[in-house]
A and B are shown apart, each in its own frame.
Chain A
Amino acid sequence: MKFRDQTDMGGTRGGFLTTHWSLIEDVKAGSDKNGALIGLLLHTYWKPVYCYLRHKGRDNEQAKDLTQDFFHEVVLNRHLVGRADKDKGQFRSFLLYALNQYLINRDRDQRAQKRIPRERLASLDIAELPDLPLSFAQATAEDSYHYAWLSALLERVTAEVKTACQEQGMENHWALFHERVLQPILGNSDPASLTQLCENLGIGDTKKASNMIVTVKRRFRSVLMELVRNTVVSEGQAREELEYLLQFLPENAQRPE
């Protein structure tokens, strides 16, 4: 999956330094710039919503449309936002809650559609649809949602780390991490031999290479924490959130050795 760094609506990464909750607070306060917010949310979170809808039985096009409409709804319909329970702390839960509310309202009242501007403020350009693993074929819609949430989060972390490496001239760091950690974990390939990698990349010794990998791993960790933090209210909740993500679907959860 290729990560897109820009959205049409200018939802740059800089905008993500604030937490999503503060975005939502902005909406409540009426100080949002609708288009930008929708674009930002849509860009970052369409996949979980889309996967959820697919698992709820919507077909591809329906799910795409609903996803888009939903984000408009979340941002534009202040009532919905107003009812979101910030104390629960997770943006992930809020989004799912809001999505369910939206679906209920929509089913009950087809006119809901009329509230959404005909010209959508931010459009969803879905060229590549998210894939779910085969083991999710029988999963519930909620599980799919959480899975996609997690995947999107990790994809984002990966992309940010990669960009950061490249911007700082740490291409070799990234290459090492990519070959030795990322790809093997994802099951795409066996870890390349460190010696061979060193040779290819012109790195003096494997010790140095190992350290380079550790550097990227740490960075990966910190970006991950930062992004998780963005979706919750407090640091404590960030840990909880991470814990939750590690634990959901207990039957599938295999803690790393």
Chain B
Amino acid sequence: MTHSKSKFSIPDFLKYLSLIIGVFVVLFPPYVVIVNAFKSTDEFNSSSSMALPKNFLNFDNFIAVFQRGGLLSGFGNVLIIIVITLTLNILFGTMVAFVLGRFSFKLKPIVFGAYLVATIIPSITTQVATFGIIKNMGLYNTLGAPIVLYIGADVIQIILYLQFIRNIPVDLDESAMVEGASLFKIYRSIIFPLLTPATATLIILKTISIYNDMYIPYLYMPKQSLGVVTTVLMRFQGVNSGEWNLICAAILLILLPTIVLYFFLQRYIFEGVTSGAVK
């Protein structure tokens, strides 16, 4: 079993083949949505669902989507929720990870365990009980409901931060201590900034998961004016079912922001864990 040194070997060929199949499977459904979003109703009914549209500049469907549904306020609401949630969540997440990653104390396994065990509690079914808590807090049918439910740190976030913190040399903390820095200052000026790649990753992941979440807004914000993109799309599909070219346009409009965001920020996700902290 010696490693092949040739320029283009059979394993390489199989690797590329599997990757190309993977990419085809990934791109097939969006392709269908894109081509049909630009078709007029007549064209949609007469052409194959995989055929290209006659005119890629036919924006009628998109205009109709904006005129019929509360998509703009949907975007606005979800943006407010995301900004407030992420600011607090990143703060809490880094704080928990700093404490768990840098100090040892008796209750540490219990704290980490509490976050770990939390993931096994089925979050959708506990809404049966959470519902009453949110109502008692006066947050039902306000943007506050999803915010308080999203801001808590979760175990994936803590594990990701801990992985990064382990790679930040303790020497940095110690030399700051020699210079008389407080532990809070070490958190603020050393740990927090060096967690930026992980934070960027989490911002993207959490933005996406909040933008995508359907059940929390559906359950806690049934008010028409508090629609977020998911609930707006569900209402739109309900009212216009069967008009697939319109629905394709709506789908595309809702997919576009995250796709744009992703192509701008993807390097943060994939950026290596090791950042040259020690000079």
Mutual binders A and B: no
- Write the residues of chain B forming the contact surface with A, with a CB cutoff of 8 angstroms: none
